[in-house]
């Protein structure tokens, strides 16, 4: 991540208002029912955009994605202690964060190489071009987050089935996201 500005003791919406026009990630620790460890919430803010919030996620203490999009924002809106990090490109920061949360370690050492798509059945998903932000703007925060999460997992080697197995999303949601990306003509198999 980028440089830590400081801790601020304000609600999420006030912090967002104060940071209007600045690209930043604001993070907070939260306690959630049923979770033994503290969870970490992050809100990704893009500067100079009509829609300031690029994404929001809450991860468990053991790095599982618990909430994203509007559900994460609903939990985080009552938090009153935030760490503010300024970053150059919030879209890249969000994609990196989601990639880190979305991929499960396959071996204890973490040294396992990517498996070929053929071992999971089905042709590999291929990126045809960059995913333009303008295509995502009309979508809800949740839909944008799901599409970016799935997009971040496509590496021209993984099949749909492999992407579904790597993400902690329902397989039908991943399949719908892949179909949407195909309709946007940025993905093929």
**Residue from 43, 44, 45 nearest 79 by CA:** 43
Looking at the DSSP bridge assignments, the partners of residue 183 are: none
- Give per-residue pLDDT as tens, 62-103: 888 888 888 889 899 989 999 988 877 777 778 777 777 763
How many residues belong to the chain? 189
Q: Does residue 125 register a pLDDT over 60? A: yes
With bands split at pLDDT 50, 70 and 90, how would you rate the model's confidence at 5?
low
Q: Does residue 17 register a pLDDT over 90? A: no
**Residue from 44, 97, 46 nearest 73 by CA:** 44
| DSSP state, residue 104 | P
- Give per-residue pLDDT as tens, 146-176: 888 888 888 888 889 888 888 888 888 888 8
C-alpha 12/C-alpha 44 separation (Å) is: 12
- Give per-residue pLDDT as tens, 31-61: 988 888 899 999 999 877 666 888 899 998 8
The residue extents of the domains of the chain are 1-102, 121-189
Residue whose tokens read 């071996």? 107
Give whole-number Cα distances, 104 to 15, 22, 98, 150, 184, in Å.
Answer: 32, 32, 12, 14, 28
Average confidence (pLDDT) over 118-132: 76
C-alpha 159/C-alpha 119 separation (Å) is: 9
């Amino acid at each position: 991540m980028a440089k830590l500005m400081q801790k601020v003791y304000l609600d999420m919406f006030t912090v967002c208002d104060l940071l209007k026009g600045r690209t930043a990630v604001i993070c907070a620790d939260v306690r959630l029912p049923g979770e033994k460890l503290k969870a970490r919430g992050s809100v990704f803010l893009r500067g100079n955009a009509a829609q300031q919030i690029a994404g929001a996620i809450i991860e468990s203490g053991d790095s599982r994605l618990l909430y994203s999009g509007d559900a994460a924002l609903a939990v985080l809106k009552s938090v009153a202690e935030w760490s503010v990090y300024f970053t150059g490109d919030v879209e890249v920061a969000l994609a990196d964060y989601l990639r880190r949360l979305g991929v499960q370690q396959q071996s204890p050492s973490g040294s396992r190489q990517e498996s070929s798509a053929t071992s999971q059945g089905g042709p590999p998903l291929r990126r045809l071009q960059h995913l333009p932000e303008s295509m995502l703007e009309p979508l809800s925060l949740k839909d944008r987050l799901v599409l970016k999460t799935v997009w971040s997992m496509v590496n021209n080697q993984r099949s749909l089935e492999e992407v579904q197995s790597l993400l902690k999303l329902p397989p039908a949601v991943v399949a719908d996201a892949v179909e949407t990306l195909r309709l946007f003509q940025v993905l093929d198999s």
